[in-house]
Amino acid sequence: MEGGLLLLSSVIFLLQGACGCPETCFCHSSSNFVDCSHQGLAEIPPDLPPEMLTLLLQDNQIHHLPALAFRTVPRLKTLNLSNNSLSELAPEAFHGLQHLQILNLTHNSLLSLERRLFHSLPQLREFAVSSNNISHLPKSLGETWENLTVLAVQQNQLQHLSRELLESMPRVRLLLLQNNLWKCNCHLLGLKLWLEMFIYEGGITDGVICESPDTWKGKDLLKIPHELYQPCPPLPPPEWVSSQAHRPGSEHGEAPKPPEDHSQSQHHVAECEAKPKPRPANLRHAVATVAITGVVCGIVCLTMLGAAIYGFTYAAITAQGHGRPSAQTCQPGKPGEKEPLSSLPA
């Protein structure tokens, strides 16, 4: 008897729990709709009907979402948390919301969004986090957000938005970006290029108005020509850094070092070879010049010597044959040679 009563009361309690509605909310069972908006709530009401598809929690004072905050309403498709005091979300806050399609977090105090947060929402289509204090979004998601079509991040503190993040949302068609602190330097060039393609393909955006640097303040990112971006400092590739580390050694060390550098990265080789290369080339050139000069001089000298010997012999022979007159013909041309020439036969 007692056991039966206990069973009956617990069944009644369970039925009440399942079909009940939190005191502070209005439940529309026929449309699976719960409206808990504007009730001064500081937390998610604990006893939400599990079959609900829409949960309105806007205009409350909820400041924190713990992990698995919505585990009791796993079928939710629409969740509105707009105009609360959210500054902190547990990374697993939305865990279990496999079917959520619309998430509205506008008008809160969020500072950043973690990558893990996005991972729990595979079916999301519309994601609004406008009017928060977000200064940081993940650089990439690591997986594609296949069904996302609306992303709204206006009215935040964003300076930069990575191209990789946008590339992980291939179906986005509406992108709201205005009123952030966009820093239009080289790092925003990826966003500019992505947006150009996005608009070309029919996407809609409210645009990116630069906040800094002063030269571009108030200008539309898309209207600044590519060439006017200050070049980003080049990111040194790891090999370059390591050869940089070698560099002082090779500078203070002696001659054997440069050949070692040849095995380093192409970039550094090019840089290092620029100086040592001309030297061996010049040296070779000099050696070649000396050799050629030597050979030419040698040939000229030998020719001259041969000519001299020939002339000498010829003169001697003619002197022997004709006597004085031949010696006299030689006299004006080579006065020094005349003496031995004439003295030889004497």
Ligand X SMILES: *[C@@H]1O[C@H](CO)[C@@H](O)[C@H](O)[C@H]1NC(C)=O
243 binds ligand X (CB under 6 A): no
Task: Number of residues interacting with ligand X: please give it, by CB under 6 A.
Answer: 21
**Residue 17 beta carbon to ligand X: minimum distance, rounded to whole angstroms:** 26
Residues 141-160 that bind ligand X (CB under 6 A): 146-147, 150
Choose, by CB under 6 A, the member of 44, 80, 100, 184 that binds ligand X: 80
Choose, by CB under 6 A, the member of 92, 97, 104, 224 that binds ligand X: 104
Contact indicator for 159, 183 with CB cutoff of 8 Å: yes
117 binds ligand X (CB under 6 A): no
Nearest one of 261, 228, 255 to 243, comparing CA atoms: 261
Contacts for 103 with CB less than 8 Å, ≥ 6 apart? 79, 81, 94, 121, 124, 126, 127, 128
Residue 126, classed as helix, strand or coil, is strand
Q: Counting every residue, how long is the chain?
A: 346
Choose, by CB under 6 A, the member of 59, 167, 260, 337 that binds ligand X: 59
**Residue 23 beta carbon to ligand X: minimum distance, rounded to whole angstroms:** 18
- Is the Cβ of residue 132 or residue 243 nearer to ligand X in the bound state? 132
Choose, by CB under 6 A, the member of 22, 50, 74, 122 that binds ligand X: 122
Q: How many CB atoms are located within 10 Å of the residue 78 CB?
A: 16
DSSP code for 187: G
Cβ neighbourhood burial of 170 (10 Å; 0-12, 13-18, 19+): exposed
**Residue 88 beta carbon to ligand X: minimum distance, rounded to whole angstroms:** 18
Contact indicator for 124, 100 with CB cutoff of 8 Å: yes
Nearest one of 116, 162, 111 to 140, comparing CA atoms: 162
**Residue 59 beta carbon to ligand X: minimum distance, rounded to whole angstroms:** 4
List phi, psi (to 5°) of 61: -125, 35
132 binds ligand X (CB under 6 A): no
- Is the Cβ of residue 169 or residue 208 nearer to ligand X in the bound state? 169
- The residue ranges that bind ligand X (CB under 6 A) are 38, 56, 58-61, 78, 80, 82-83, 102, 104, 106-107, 122-123, 126, 128, 146-147, 150
